[in-house]
């Protein structure tokens, strides 16, 4: 018995050189080693206690060896905490992406390109969205329960299209108040609407659905609360929508909120809204839900929006942009690693010549239209309306169908393939295949996109 205990103590002591070289390991690995040492020490102590309690098998334990193991375990844990690594987590991802877009007459890799007019593919669009990114996420939870988070994403952060040059995707703090389930939140927070997430490693397809792209904000900045009660989580924030600071004379407040209910392990639903007040009031609201069971995954979303004074038709007077839309996704695991996915989106955007919140073109006198994303009235309708041939200018209703595959190459690498067809009820997509310079203004009512990407995360 004595020899067995000595060998066990020796084995625990031998494990400590691994802990001494923890600087070459991840935080997760170091934590696992500390826990393993604790478990081994507990086993050793139990065997000592059991042997001491047995009159028939008295055991002598080397006290120096035992104390050395105990001291090393405590020292490793103290050093880990003193270095600030306790509650500290670093993760990241990147997704080099290849996109072919038919009407844009282009194909090639998209990686770290901009939304801020500093590259040839500047506008945010369904074929130039939140893919081709690099993201680094740093989180820290302190002893008192404070949570600190900084997420960096060069060129394609949530704020890069509005705060030019910013690489900050999220910079937020969460502070417990009454208890850990009632928290103050503040800082810059990515939008929390819908069933899709922005990072590529958190969604099954390459592109995002149309409600994600054109019916919700990009980020909020301000202060609010997060309250968890049982299966309910409620978040709200007062502050700015897609702004890091207000311009002179801008005092219009906004409220942004999200409520989630988790019915169980496999299903749940939520709703979110954004409301601004004052000039050009914005009202957005959506409901979403999910169901996952076995090999099947279902997700869905319905949203409505109104933006005062921002309708595409501005020829005679300012009109309001109004729309509603829906999106649904279904996924099936063909094998544990291979998933087939399909998604359908629809936005009804005929009111006042069209116009949605994520409209790429600027508003002004006349008619605004987005010939890349397919929103607004057709060029023929605009000409007929201006000539008086028609008395009402209507926008195009939009839809999109995506089919794709994703394959888990290893636990941190996923390969994706997506074929997407975008359509409209009017000729609103400019066709650069037929008109390479764009001078002739050739338009059609559909676009075809093919994409593939490799998502690597840690």
Choosing from 52, 82, 112, the residue where a domain stops is 82
pLDDT tens sequence across 270-325: 999 999 998 889 999 999 999 999 999 999 999 999 999 999 998 888 899 999 99
Same domain, 124 and 10: no
pLDDT tens sequence across 374-407: 999 999 999 999 899 998 999 999 999 999 999 9
- Burial code (b: 16+ CB inside 10 Å, e: under 16) for 165-190 equals ebbbbbbbebeeeeeeeebebbbbbb
Q: Residue 68: inside a domain, yes or no?
A: yes
Q: What percentage of the chain has pLDDT greater than the value 90?
A: 66
Choosing from 61, 82, 103, the residue where a domain stops is 82
Same domain, 289 and 310: yes
Report residue 121 CA to chain centroid gap: 22
Query: What is d(CA 102, CA 421) in angstroms, rounded to the nearest whole number?
Result: 10
Same domain, 249 and 339: yes
Q: Residue 144: inside a domain, yes or no?
A: no
Collapsed DSSP state (helix, strand, coil) of residue 63: helix
Same domain, 36 and 118: no
Same domain, 320 and 281: yes
Q: Residue 70: inside a domain, yes or no?
A: yes
Tell me what pLDDT residue 116 has.
Answer: 65
Which domain CATH number covers 341?
Answer: 2.40.160.40
Collapsed DSSP state (helix, strand, coil) of residue 192: coil
The number of folded domains in the chain is 2
Instruction: With CA atoms as reference, report the closest residue to 212 among 105, 299, 154.
Output: 299
- Whether 43 shows a pLDDT value over 90: the answer reads no
Q: Residue 36: inside a domain, yes or no?
A: yes
Q: Residue 219: inside a domain, yes or no?
A: no
Query: What is d(CA 309, CA 311) in angstroms, rounded to the nearest whole number?
Result: 6
Same domain, 62 and 112: no
326 and 301 in contact (C-beta within 8 Å)?
yes
Run of H or E including 106? strand 106-110
Collapsed DSSP state (helix, strand, coil) of residue 213: helix
The DSSP bridge pattern shows strands 267-276 and 282-293 to be antiparallel
Report residue 177 CA to chain centroid gap: 27
Same domain, 127 and 42: no
Four-point Cα dihedral 3, 5, 11, 17, nearest 10: -120
Question: CA 22, 23, 28, 31 torsion: positive or negative?
Answer: positive
Same domain, 325 and 415: yes
Same domain, 61 and 208: no
Q: Residue 445: inside a domain, yes or no?
A: yes
The tokens for 88 are 């500290």
Same domain, 433 and 308: yes
Model's pTM, two decimal places?
A: 0.83
Q: Provide mean pLDDT across the span 164-191.
A: 95
Same domain, 53 and 15: yes
Spell out the residues 6+ positions from residue 33 whose beta carbon is closer than 8 angstroms to its own: 15, 18, 19, 22, 25, 76
Same domain, 261 and 373: yes
* Domain coverage including residue 13: 2-82
Q: Residue 256: inside a domain, yes or no?
A: yes
The tokens for 418 are 């997506």
Q: Residue 123: inside a domain, yes or no?
A: yes
């Amino acid at each position: 018995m004595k020899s067995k205990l000595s060998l066990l103590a020796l084995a625990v002591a031998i494990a400590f050189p691994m802990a001494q070289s923890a600087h070459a390991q991840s935080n997760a690995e170091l934590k696992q080693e500390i826990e393993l040492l604790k478990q081994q020490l507990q086993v050793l102590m139990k065997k000592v206690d059991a042997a001491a309690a047995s009159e028939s098998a008295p055991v002598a334990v080397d006290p120096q060896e035992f104390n050395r193991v105990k001291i090393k375990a405590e020292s490793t844990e103290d050093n880990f905490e003193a270095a600030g690594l306790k509650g500290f987590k670093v993760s990241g991802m990147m997704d080099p992406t290849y996109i072919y877009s038919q009407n844009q007459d282009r194909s090639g890799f998209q990686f770290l390109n901009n939304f801020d007019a500093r590259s040839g593919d500047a506008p945010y669009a369904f074929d130039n969205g939140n893919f081709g990114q690099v993201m680094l996420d740093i989180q820290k939870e302190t002893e008192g329960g404070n949570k600190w988070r900084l997420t960096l994403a060069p060129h394609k952060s949530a704020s890069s299209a509005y705060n030019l040059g910013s690489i900050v995707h999220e910079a937020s703090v969460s502070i417990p108040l009454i208890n850990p389930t009632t928290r103050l939140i503040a800082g810059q927070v990515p939008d929390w609407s819908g069933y899709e997430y922005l990072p590529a490693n958190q969604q099954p397809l390459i592109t995002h659905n149309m409600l994600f792209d054109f019916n919700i904000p990009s980020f909020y900045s301000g202060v609010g609360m997060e309250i968890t009660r049982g299966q309910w989580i409620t978040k709200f924030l007062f502050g700015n929508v897609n702004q890091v600071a207000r311009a002179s004379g801008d005092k219009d407040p906004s409220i942004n909120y999200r409520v989630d209910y988790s019915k169980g392990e496999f299903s749940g639903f939520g709703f979110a809204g954004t409301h601004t007040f004052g000039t050009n009031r914005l009202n957005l609201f959506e409901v979403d839900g999910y169901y996952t069971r076995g090999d099947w995954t279902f997700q869905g979303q319905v949203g409505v929006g109104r933006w005062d004074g921002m309708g595409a038709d501005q020829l005679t007077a300012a009109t309001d942009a109004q729309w509603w839309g829906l999106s649904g996704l279904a996924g099936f695991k063909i094998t544990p690693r291979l998933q087939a996915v399909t998604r359908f989106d629809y936005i009804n955007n005929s009111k006042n010549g069209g116009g949605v919140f994520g409209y790429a073109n600027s508003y002004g006198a006349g008619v605004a239209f987005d010939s890349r994303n397919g929103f607004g009235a057709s060029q023929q309708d605009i000409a007929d309306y201006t000539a008086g041939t028609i008395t009402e200018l209507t926008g195009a209703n939009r839809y999109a169908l995506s089919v794709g595959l994703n394959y888990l190459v290893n636990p941190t690498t996923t390969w994706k393939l997506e074929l997407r067809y975008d359509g409209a009820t009017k000729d609103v997509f400019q066709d650069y295949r037929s008109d390479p310079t764009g001078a002739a203004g050739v338009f059609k009512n559909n676009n075809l996109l093919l994409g593939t990407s490799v998502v690597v995360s840690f």
